[in-house]
Amino acid sequence: MRNLASAIAIVTGGEGGIGAAIVSRLTAGGLRVVSADIAAAPDLTDDGAVIRRRLDLTDAAGIDSFAAEVSTLGTIVALVNCAGIIVECTAEEAPGPGVRRMLDINVLGAAHMTAAVAPLMRRGGAIVNISSISSRLPEIANAVLYGASKSALETYTRASARALAPKGIRVNSLAPGFIDVAMTDAMRTIAYSEGSPLRRVAAGRMGTADEIAACVEFLLSDQASYVVGATLVVDGGLALN
């Protein structure tokens, strides 16, 4: 994959935190990366190794036109669905518009990206969906629907892996634990509240965005050629408790 001329990887949410680390890792590995993020400029901005483009994952028509546009730049060999938002909501609260937007981005956005990009990919391509350890931590009361969105994404990963494997495209997901990046107010509340699961991490620290990016690179590589429909949990041993 690295040696393919004009090989393109797409990373949604590539302008911040984990997404930016993934973009850097993949470009260092020889891929030309398209960073698709709502925070980017509206038109394609090409600085050589990285091409940046604004993309709203709630805009279905926009996703389709984006995929067609990127396919003219080279051969799409990888897709990383990293874009996601967190909106606080407990199990006893009625979900509001913010929660619905979260579901649209975290689940349906990734699904639509996959549906738009997969037909344009070559055999041997790979897709990685970024989930979250929150899908396994129902005790985080104000993030139950965020966790539910990531559980849904993992279920979608398994279903799309089964559908795309005969076409030579592997689909997996990766569930980071607590990662040391700039946090939203909602995530900061979760991470540092009394009784936070962060206190149970066996490694005794947060992970880094670079550590997550290295694992994404592995899942996209030929070294993971027999990994299909899996979720790689990268949480410093939190799940051991």
pLDDT value for 189: 65
- Segment 175-203 shows an average pLDDT of 75
Give the pLDDT band (50/70/90) at residue 204: confident
- Segment 81-94 shows an average pLDDT of 88
Please state the pTM of the whole predicted model.
0.92
Percent share of the chain, pLDDT over 70: 91
SS (H, E, C) 22-62: HHHHHHHCCCEEEEEECCCCCCCEECCCEEEEECCCCCHHH
Strand 121-130 versus strand 32-37 pairing type: unpaired
Helix 60-71, helix 110-117: angle, nearest 10 = 40
pLDDT value for 2: 44
SS3 percent helix, strand, coil of the chain, rounded to 5, is 45, 20, 35
Architecture of the domain delimited by 7-236: 3-Layer(aba) Sandwich (3.40)
- Segment 150-168 shows an average pLDDT of 98
Two tokens, residue 241: 């408790």
pLDDT value for 190: 64
pLDDT value for 188: 64
More confidently predicted of 239 and 129: 129
51: pLDDT strictly greater than 80: yes
152: pLDDT strictly greater than 60: yes
195: pLDDT strictly greater than 70: no
1: pLDDT strictly greater than 50: no
Q: Residue 123 and residue 160: Cα distance in Å, rounded?
A: 15
* Residue 146 annotated among the catalytic residues of the structure: yes
Q: Of all helices (H) and strands (E), which one includes residue 18? A: helix 17-28
Two tokens, residue 161: 């892996």
Q: Identify the active-site residue in 146, 156, 192, 226.
A: 146
Q: Residue 13 and residue 184: Cα distance in Å, rounded?
A: 15
Going from N- to C-terminal start, the domains of the chain cover 7-236
